[in-house]
Structure formats: C-alpha cells, structure tokens
Amino acid sequence: MKRYLIFITALLLFNCNGNSQKDKNKSFKITKTDAEWKAQLSDMAYYVLRKEGTERAFSSPLNKNYKKGIYVCAGCDTPLFKSEHKFDSGTGWPSFDREIKGNVAFSSGSDLFYGIEEHCATCGGHLGHKFNDGPKNTTGIRHCINGAALKFIPEK
C-alpha cells in the first residue's frame, strides 16, 4: 500500500499533462514562428520568453531601475507593470506587487518551488513567477520577473 501511495504521489507531481502544458497550447493574439521570435529577440530574451528560461540573478539593469514609467513585454510591447508598483525584493530580479490587470496570464507551474508561472497574456511569453511573500503593506504579492522579458518605457 505504501508503494502504491508513493507511486500515485509521484505520478501527480510529475504528470506531463499539467496545467502549464495545457496553457502552452492556448492561442494568443500575437503568434509567431520560432524562427520569427529568434530573429526579433536577443538570445537572452528568446531564452526567457520562448523557452521559459531564467536569467541570472542581479544580471538585469532593470532590477535597480527606479525611474517613472511602464514595463512592457519585450516580445510584443504589451504594458505589464507600472513603475510605482516596483520594489526591491532583494532577490536579484525586478519585482512588482501587482500587474496591469488583464495583461498578465497565470498558470500553475510544473515545479512546486517556483510558484505560479506568469506569461504575457498577448503573446504567451514567459515572464517569471508570482509568490505570496511580497510587501505586507500593499498586496502581499511578489511578481518576480526576468528583466530580459521586459522593456522599460520612461514617463515623458
């Protein structure tokens, strides 16, 4: 019986048809071929947005950017986060306590340690992960976002 429970638990945890897999098949407003994405994006942006990679902590210049403006998807320019919702989480990635509603999609990831996956709702590009350890004086949420997935548009 014990072996049976271990087998069932492992099957549930490592199931290839998890929610993340199903969400990847969703059609988005902006779709391109893999070759088109590769031609448009930098190597790191392609790795993060299209292959769900993660940049090295503290490697993005956007991590310490505190200018006023808006952060948009590096793949399709969809507005994702406002500068007034950015905070220094100390994790090494740009962090926000809230997203621009409707422009960020969420799915449960296949890795239990990485929280809820975040994607651009327009092109499906992988942004990062959402955690419940953000500032308690605001939303309590931390959107941990790869800087390579973002472009910053300064306020005029």
Flag whether pLDDT at 12 surpasses 60: no
Residue 20 or 66, more confident = 66
Strand partners, 29: none
User: pTM (2 decimals)?
Assistant: 0.81
Flag whether pLDDT at 55 surpasses 60: yes
CA distance 107 to 130: 10
Flag whether pLDDT at 100 surpasses 60: yes
Region 28-49 average pLDDT? 97
CA distance 7 to 147: 39
Of the pLDDT bands very low, low, confident and very high (cuts 50, 70, 90), residue 104 is very high
Lowest mean pLDDT, pick from 12-26, 32-46, 58-72, 138-152: 12-26
**CA dihedral in degrees (16, 31, 82, 46; nearest 10)?**
70
CA distance 106 to 3: 34
Catalytic residue among 73, 120, 123, 144: 144
How does DSSP assign 2-47, residue by residue? Answer: HHHHHHHHHHHHT-TTSHHHHHHTS--SS---HHHHHHHS-HHHHH
Specify whether 144 is catalytic: yes
Lowest mean pLDDT, pick from 44-58, 77-91, 108-122, 137-151: 108-122
Lowest mean pLDDT, pick from 3-12, 58-67, 90-99, 131-140: 3-12
Of the pLDDT bands very low, low, confident and very high (cuts 50, 70, 90), residue 117 is very high
Q: How many CB atoms lie within 10 A of CB 122?
A: 21
- Are residues 29 and 122 in contact, defined by beta-carbon separation less than 8 angstroms? yes
Flag whether pLDDT at 45 surpasses 60: yes
Tell me the chain's radius of gyration from C-alpha atoms.
17
CA distance 79 to 88: 20
- pLDDT value, residue 8: 37
